[in-house]
Structure 1
Amino acid sequence: MKTVKVEEGLPISQILQKYPELVTPYLKKLDPPKLDFKNKRALAIYNKIIAREVLGIELSFPFKGLIPAVMSRFEFVKMAVKPQESVLDIGTGSSAVCAIIAAKHLMAEVYATEMIDEYYESAKRNILENSLHERIHLIKSSGEIIEGVIPKNLNFDAIISNPPYLPSKTTLSDKKFGGSAAELIGGGKTGAEFSLKIIREGVPRLNPGGRIGLIFPIKTKKIYEIIISQMKKEKLNVEIIRLITGNRERLIIIGSKN
Structure 2
Amino acid sequence: MLTVKDLLDARGKHQFAMLRVETLEEAEAAAKAGVELLSIPPAMIHDRRFREAAPDCFAFPGDNFYEIGGTEDFLRWAMPLYKAGADGVYCSGSLRTVRELADHGIPVCGHVGLIPSKRTWTGGFKAVGKTLDMAQLVWRQVKALEEAGAFAVEIEVVPHSITQAIAEKTGLFLISMGAGAAGHAQYLFTDDVLGQNRGKVPRHAKRYADFASELDRLQALRVEAMGRFVRDVHEGDYPAPQYLVDCEAQVVEQFRDWLDGQ
TM-score, scaled to structure 2: 0.34
Structure with the bigger RCO (C-alpha within 8 Å, sep 6+) is 1
Higher gyration radius (CA): 2
Query: Comparing both structures, which one devotes a greater share of its residues to helix?
Result: 2
What is the TM-score when the length of structure 1 is the normalising length?
A: 0.34
